[in-house]
Amino acid sequence: MSERPSFRPRTDRPKVVITDYDYGDVNVESEILEAVGAEVIALQAKREEDLFEVSQDCAAMMNQYARIGAAVISRMEKCEVIARYGVGVDIVDIETASERGILVTNVQDYCTEEVADHAISLWLTLVRKLPEYDRATHAGVWRWQSGQPVCRLRGRTMGVVSFGKIGRAIAERAKAFGVNVIAYDPYLPETVAARHGVRLVSKPELLAMSHYILMQAPMTPDTRHFLSDAEFAAMKKGAILVNTGRGPTVDNKALYRALTEGHLAAAGLDDPEEEPAKCADWSPCDNPIFTLPNVIVTPHVAYYSEESIRAARVTAATQVAKVLTGQQPDYPVNADALAGTTY
């Protein structure tokens, strides 16, 4: 969904609060929401306390990185919908929202290709030792041995953690390079993985078998530090890790130990564990991962393309506009908990 929809404006003027954004402006959202008679208030909140006052009379709230927790939701008196810019909703207290009859929506199906491309790019960059060769040639060293050893991809095994749409897109790309792809996903039927030519395995099997592990796990209580000391120790010596899922699914202190002690060869992270965009103050000095030459860190950009950014903004704003005009949203997160509620 990327085209601006048509709505019948409300007779009142509901207030829509955008908690934070890094798009440069909120023109896309304002065009959609003002068309239904809403007033858009754009903030750059980094703490929940920044939202206390505006939460009381808002009809909707949209968030990119800012957490909307129980302390904020409990102050809401008129809110009908909380819309997340993106797929993950771990920064919204869905349980409290549901208790108060507030619908939560997210954005789906908007960046599958971008994230899969980014994951493969990080993987190939690390496997082919491009950073090492680049540093060497810039220093005047012209030797193939600068990146030694580089191993052939074909015939090796890639383990994908979480085999949803993005995990499947990663697998399709990887198979073109001749790797054997296995996956761990306790919520997926084996028949679904089989249709994509991938075998589901247990977590211990994936750790032991994989030369490359590509993480695409969402953030849940069960996935926090999904990879830590025990898991890194169980991996093949010289394994490469790529995480284009949520940062906290990888224990960065444990990863630092595995990389500096030589058990893992390299890592590519699209977000470190502390998720800097969600911090009021952040410095790379706080995380020793940033000191390692065998680690590539990108600033949570796997989802990004000009097209995907616009799709996320249009879709998130459209969910709010639909709810405010009495229509069913496309991507409700807690609809079951609100069964019987009229939107």
Give the catalytic positions in this structure.
246, 275, 300
Q: Are 170 and 160 in contact (CB under 8 A)?
A: yes
Give residue for tokens 């001749």. 178
Q: Tell me the two tokens of residue 325.
A: 């005009």
138-142-144-148 Cα dihedral, nearest 10 degrees: -50
Element (H, E) at 167: helix 165-175
Q: Dihedrals φ, ψ of 288, to 5°?
A: -65, -15
Amino acid (1-letter code) at residue 224: R
CA distance 78 to 15: 9
Q: How far is CA 11 from CA 29, 35, 93, in A?
A: 19, 12, 30
Query: Coil, helix or strand for 25?
Result: coil
Nearest partner of 215 among 157, 170, 275, judged by Cα: 170
Q: How many CB atoms lie within 10 A of CB 133?
A: 17
Q: Are 8 and 325 in contact (CB under 8 A)?
A: yes
Q: Are 123 and 212 in contact (CB under 8 A)?
A: yes
Sheet of 103-105: strand order equals 39-42, 15-18, 60-63, 81-84, 103-105
Amino acid (1-letter code) at residue 295: V
Burial of 46 (0-12, 13-18, 19+ CB in 10 A): middle
Q: Are 184 and 169 in contact (CB under 8 A)?
A: no
